């Protein structure tokens, strides 16, 4: 079993570069299925999840080749409508192939993704949206069989601005007959990147990044070259790690606008940083005030940075209340942090974090990828060497994390 050994006590110092966004590249790889011409994606992070998504579209007949940070995709010969259970069960995000595959071939069979560590995560809004566009959906021995002779544009109101549902509907509607309007759509930067990519292929999407998206269906999509946006969650994780160790780190390849709610909370906590031409520089002192956090959909505080921020708060001055409103069970990292001496109580959907002066090393397990980042952050500030298991979760979403943190002075080693 592979583990990370992280020894606390070093200041992080230097420059760290953020990779392309995992949550942007995954739906973009799926959207490549809309076109039969060659696609090149630049800044495509080399992550476990990206490998799984690449395998999923390869299993459908597409070709995918990696060349450094580029992915070359060609989906000319798509002849399979069924995504293999083995792959889909590894990564819930593979459900975003439903929209583009349905649009391209008129049918898709995919295993129902079921639950995961951070909640039951239903896909009812994805299905409701596809049904509104004219799809017929049947459940068949654990598989969803989705068929549509003709997708037709319509008006869809989402009960909640789900990121995945907005993406699936946007991709199906891009090739439907007529115009689709998604109301109460997700506004995350990854939605904007996906819309830009589809438009570069010939799509006609307006309003991505606002709560109302207009999609005029087109039949022909051509090839394109697209650069994936930087990963705001990876950037936020490194900013918080640098701050927690009292380090001086320039985090490069960041779009500050994507991190506004996080930077606002960092400022409130007393973390010093400068927005520079090349990125964001943290000048930490390791001594911060407790701040309350409530996760919300974009442009609110991102749920994916709740765990790392909570880990930083375990050593702040005072009591902080961290409320999770997006996912139902996203405090799995709390029990692990408590093993390292953190003082945290869960009350319903909130965690009450009482700052302590010292965390100590302990064997801990990453239960999901952001929980993994939280444990690394805590370990970098703890006394002794922390052993982190479950690192495949971390490798799903953080490219070469061990190498990147080592380069700026963190003591982190992977043992197999
Ligand atoms: C995406 C991100 C994930 C991030 C999340 C919220 C990817 C690959 N993952 O996940 O990192 O944490 O957005 O920013 O981009 N829900 C339903 N029914 C549905 C769909 C969602 O009840 O049909 C619920 C979910 O269980 C969850 C909430 O809505 O409680 C938000 O989910 P959603 O925005 O869809 O997140 P994902 O797209 O799964």
Q: What are phi and psi of 29, to 5 degrees?
A: -60, -45
For residue 387, the cross-strand partners are: 5, 363
Our answer on whether the CB atom of 313 is closer than 6 Å to any ligand 1 atom is no
Greater confidence, 1 or 172? 172
Report which ligand 1 atom has the smallest distance to the Cα of 119.
26
Q: What are phi and psi of 52, to 5 degrees?
A: -65, -45
For residue 386, the model assigns a pLDDT of 98
pLDDT, one tens digit per residue, over 49-75 is 999 999 999 999 999 999 999 999 999
Stretch 402-412: mean pLDDT, rounded?
97
Catalytic residue among 116, 264, 352, 358: 116
C-alpha 93 – ligand 1 centre gap (Å): 9
**Contact indicator for 242, 251 with CB cutoff of 8 Å:** yes
For residue 119, the model assigns a pLDDT of 59
Stretch 10-35: mean pLDDT, rounded?
98
Our answer on whether the CB atom of 142 is closer than 6 Å to any ligand 1 atom is no
Handedness of CA 298, 304, 305, 306 (dihedral sign): positive
Categorize the per-residue pLDDT at 114 as very low, low, confident or very high, splitting at 50, 70 and 90: low
**Contact indicator for 243, 284 with CB cutoff of 8 Å:** yes
C-alpha 205 – ligand 1 centre gap (Å): 22
For residue 90, the model assigns a pLDDT of 87
Residue whose CA is at the smallest distance from ligand 1 atom 36: 163
Our answer on whether the CB atom of 327 is closer than 6 Å to any ligand 1 atom is yes
**Contact indicator for 250, 281 with CB cutoff of 8 Å:** yes
Our answer on whether the CB atom of 326 is closer than 6 Å to any ligand 1 atom is yes
CA max distance for the chain = 63
Mark whether 116 is an active-site residue: yes
C-alpha 3 – ligand 1 centre gap (Å): 28
Categorize the per-residue pLDDT at 20 as very low, low, confident or very high, splitting at 50, 70 and 90: very high
Measured from the Cβ of residue 167, the count of other Cβ atoms closer than 10 Å reads: 30
Our answer on whether the CB atom of 162 is closer than 6 Å to any ligand 1 atom is yes
Categorize the per-residue pLDDT at 328 as very low, low, confident or very high, splitting at 50, 70 and 90: confident
Categorize the per-residue pLDDT at 118 as very low, low, confident or very high, splitting at 50, 70 and 90: low
Measured from the Cβ of residue 352, the count of other Cβ atoms closer than 10 Å reads: 13
Our answer on whether the CB atom of 301 is closer than 6 Å to any ligand 1 atom is no
Categorize the per-residue pLDDT at 116 as very low, low, confident or very high, splitting at 50, 70 and 90: low
Residue whose CA is at the smallest distance from ligand 1 atom 19: 123
For residue 117, the model assigns a pLDDT of 59
Report which ligand 1 atom has the smallest distance to the Cα of 304.
12
How, if at all, do strands 143-147 and 107-111 pair?
A: antiparallel
Residue whose CA is at the smallest distance from ligand 1 atom 13: 163
Our answer on whether the CB atom of 408 is closer than 6 Å to any ligand 1 atom is no
Q: How far apart are CA 296 and CA 156, in angstroms?
A: 22
Stretch 311-339: mean pLDDT, rounded?
95
Q: What is the mean pLDDT of the chain?
A: 95
Greater confidence, 92 or 351? 351
**Chain mean position to CA 95:** 14
If DSSP codes are grouped into helix, strand and coil, which group holds residue 189? helix
**Contact indicator for 55, 82 with CB cutoff of 8 Å:** no
Residue whose CA is at the smallest distance from ligand 1 atom 38: 164
C-alpha 75 – ligand 1 centre gap (Å): 27
Q: What are phi and psi of 337, to 5 degrees?
A: -65, -35
pLDDT at 279 over 80: yes
For residue 112, the model assigns a pLDDT of 80
- Identify the CA nearest to 229 among candidates 178, 181, 188, 193: 193
pLDDT, one tens digit per residue, over 287-311 is 999 999 999 999 999 999 999 999 9
Residue whose CA is at the smallest distance from ligand 1 atom 27: 327
Categorize the per-residue pLDDT at 121 as very low, low, confident or very high, splitting at 50, 70 and 90: confident
- Identify the CA nearest to 370 among candidates 406, 399, 330: 330
Our answer on whether the CB atom of 123 is closer than 6 Å to any ligand 1 atom is yes
How far CA 389 is from CA of 111, 233, 242, in Å, comes to: 28, 21, 22
Report which ligand 1 atom has the smallest distance to the Cα of 125.
23
Residue whose CA is at the smallest distance from ligand 1 atom 33: 162
Measured from the Cβ of residue 188, the count of other Cβ atoms closer than 10 Å reads: 24
Mutate to test the pocket of ligand 1, among 95, 115, 258, 326 (most ligand atoms within 8 A of CB): 326
C-alpha 166 – ligand 1 centre gap (Å): 10
Mutate to test the pocket of ligand 1, among 116, 159, 160, 306 (most ligand atoms within 8 A of CB): 160
Q: How far apart are CA 327 and CA 41, in angstroms?
A: 30
For residue 260, the model assigns a pLDDT of 97
For residue 49, the model assigns a pLDDT of 94
pLDDT at 115 over 60: no
- Eight-class DSSP state of 286: S
């Amino acid at each position: 079993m592979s583990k990370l050994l992280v020894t606390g006590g070093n200041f992080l110092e230097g420059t760290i570069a953020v990779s392309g966004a995992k949550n942007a590249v995954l739906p973009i790889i799926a959207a490549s299925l809309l076109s039969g011409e060659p696609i090149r994606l630049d800044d495509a992070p080399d992550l476990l999840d990206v490998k799984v998504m690449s395998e999923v579209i390869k299993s459908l007949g597409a070709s995918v080749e990696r060349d450094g940070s580029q992915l070359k995709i060609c989906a000319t010969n798509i002849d399979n409508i069924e995504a293999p259970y083995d792959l889909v069960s590894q990564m819930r995000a593979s459900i975003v192939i439903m929209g583009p595959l349905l649009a391209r071939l008129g049918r898709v069979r995919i295993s129902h993704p079921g639950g995961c560590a951070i909640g039951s995560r239903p896909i009812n809004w994805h299905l409701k949206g596809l049904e509104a566009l004219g799809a017929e959906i049947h459940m068949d021995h654990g598989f969803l069989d989705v068929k549509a002779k003709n997708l037709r544009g319509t008006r869809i109101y989402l009960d909640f601005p789900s990121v995945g549902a907005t993406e699936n509907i946007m991709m199906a509607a891009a090739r439907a007959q007529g115009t689709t309007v998604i109301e109460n759509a997700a506004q995350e930067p990854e939605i904007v990147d996906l819309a830009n990519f589809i438009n570069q292929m010939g799509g006609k999407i307006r309003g991505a990044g606002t709560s109302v998206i207009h999609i005029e269906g087109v039949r022909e999509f051509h090839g394109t070259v697209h650069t994936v946006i930087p990963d705001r969650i990876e950037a936020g994780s490194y900013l918080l790690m640098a701050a927690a160790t009292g380090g001086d780190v320039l985090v490069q390849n960041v779009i500050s606008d994507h991190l506004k709610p996080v930077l606002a909370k960092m400022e409130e906590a007393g973390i010093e940083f400068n927005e520079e031409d090349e990125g964001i520089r943290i000048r930490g002192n390791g001594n911060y005030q407790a701040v309350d956090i409530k996760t919300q959909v974009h442009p609110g505080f991102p749920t994916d940075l709740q765990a790392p921020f909570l880990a930083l708060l375990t050593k702040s001055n005072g009591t902080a209340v961290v409320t999770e409103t997006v996912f139902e069970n996203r405090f799995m990292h709390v029990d692990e942090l408590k093993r390292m001496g953190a003082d945290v109580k869960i009350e319903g959907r909130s965690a009450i974090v009482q700052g302590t002066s010292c965390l100590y090393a302990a064997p801990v397990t990453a239960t999901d990828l952001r929980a993994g980042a939280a444990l690394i952050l805590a370990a970098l500030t703890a006394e002794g060497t922390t052993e982190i298991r479950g690192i495949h979760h971390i490798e799903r979403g953080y490219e070469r994390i061990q190498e990147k943190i080592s380069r700026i002075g963190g003591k982190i080693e992977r043992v197999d």
